[in-house]
Structure 1
Amino acid sequence: MTSTIGIIGSGNIGSALARAFTVAGHSVVIANSRGPASLAPLVTELGERATAGTVEQAAQAGELVVVTIPLGAVASIPSQWLDGRIVIDTNNYYPTRDGQIAELDDESLTTAEYVARHFAGATVVKAFNHIPALAIADHAQPAGTPDRRALMVYGDDAAAVERVSALVDQIGFDAIKGGGLADSWRIQRDTPGYGPRFTATELAIKLAEARRYRDL
């Protein structure tokens, strides 16, 4: 099934996902803080399935919307723009970039829960936060390929998790359902599974090794 996917953020991850989604047959509406004109070269590269829009247009382009901007900027997006959508949250917390966020510092919230709290009218699914941008193209393989790279998917809504898992598989990766958003700390920045290429079996081991800072 193909669809229109909004992408808020045109940095490395946003651009890489836009390429992967259009190759898979989806249409994308991509936006950034600098405005549609700044996206002309990327849209030309992506071809007829890609359109540049405002952040509001990307937010409302389809049922699926990727939010892939610095975590500290998430609150700048009016939450109502995403009401009723499935929001794919790719974000990671970097205090030097995002500023100190108390609930993330004391780990009373995961980054995904923090995003979900802002977009309270949306259904948030955590995905694509633990893969480098270049690997989205370089590591993609057809379904059934032995030792295919695995990516985690977390969410509190089973249907939304299935939808995003299907998208992950479609663009070249084994999707592993990790539980609810509260469990997504296992693949946040600095955890054993964050970054390198792992198969599903290897990633399960890395998830089991993860420890919260507050528990150390």
Structure 2
Amino acid sequence: MRIGLIGAGHIGGTLARLLSRAGHDVAVSNSRGPETLRDLEKELGDGAKAVTAEEAAAFGDVVVVSVPLGRYREVPTSVRDGATVIDTNNYYPQRDGAFPELDADRTTSSELLQAHLPQAHVVKAFNAIYWERLLNDGREPGAADRLAIPISGDDEQAKRVTADLIDQIGFDPVDVGGLADGGRHHQPGTPLYGADLTASAVRERLGR
């Protein structure tokens, strides 16, 4: 699968490494330009390349957005029609500035990104796990200590694509609902955020 990554920080860079190891073609970008990513490109090896954000957006059947929420409007709109966009972001007012619609809980951060990319299918994932856990704690299917990653989204096929990628890199996906209702279950300040839980423990916390 062709996967474009917009943002190469802790989460974006970690996902680039994990998805490349899983055999996917990866195009990784950041805000400073591909020349600043040559070391990562070399580390990832064949099947990976450093590109501009616009190129990463257009490259992917799946596009991972891992930039600060305050800059979500800078995400290129060159994302393909029907592409799956995985949103790893969280709203931190001290970093992102105030978003009155989020402060009033009228919407969620992923719904803002979905409105920015109406041609794509946004799935919220990887926002509730610490990057060190993501990098180091993948396990084989069926392992008793395999951690869960909650996902939410409004398109079932996009969620299946995301769930399959999560499984490939060593975690159990747990579908917690749509962008609005589900996203509110694993954003900052919720019982799932930053919690190292198995799939059964996630469902238990949600009363399912």
TM-score (ref. length: structure 1) = 0.91
Stretches of 4+ aligned residues off by more than 4 angstroms: none
1:102 Cα deviation after fit: 1.2
Would you say the 8 A contact 1:80–1:121 is kept in 2? no
Partner of 1:185: 184
Identity %: 46
Alignment of 1:37-52 (within 5 A): 37-52=35-50
User: What does the per-residue CA deviation read over 1:25-83, in whole Å, with 9 as the maximum and x for residues that have no partner?
Assistant: 11110001100000011111111121000011100112100000000111022434454
Do residues 202 (structure 1) and 201 (structure 2) align? yes
CA drift of 1:105 comes to 0.6
Q: Given the superposition, is the C-alpha separation of residues 47 and 80 from structure 1 closer, same or farther in structure 2, using an over 3 Å criterion? A: closer
Counterpart pick for 1:107 among 105, 122, 128: 105
Partner of 1:212: none
* Counterpart mapping for 1:2-151 below 5 A: 3-151=1-149
Q: Matched residue of 1:60: which SS?
A: helix
Take 1:148 and 1:64, find their aligned partners in 2: how far apart are those partners? 24
Structure 1 residue 191: deviation in Å?
Answer: 1.0
Amino acid at match of 1:24: A
Structure 1 residues 136, 95: closer, same or farther in 2, change over 3 A? same
| Alignment RMSD (CA, Å) | 1.2
CA contact (8 A) 1:187 1:207 kept: no
Distance 1:57 1:80 in 2: 8
C-alpha deviation, 1:201, in angstroms: 1.7
How far apart, CA to CA, are the structure 1 residues paired with 2:177 and 2:31?
32
Count of aligned pairs: 206
Cα distance in 1 for partners of 2:62, 2:2 equals: 7
TM-score, with length taken from structure 2: 0.95
SS in 2 for 1:180: coil
Query: Aligned letter for 2:184?
Result: W
When structure 1 is superposed on structure 2, of 192-201 and 74-83 the one drifting more is 74-83
**CA distance in 2: counterparts of 1:138 and 1:44, whole angstroms:** 21
* Separation in structure 1 between the aligned mates of residue 53 and residue 81 of structure 2, nearest angstrom: 14
Give the aligned residue type for 1:114: L
Measure, in 1, the Cα distance between the counterparts of 2:99 and 2:114: 15
Contact 2:140 2:170 in 1 (8 A): yes
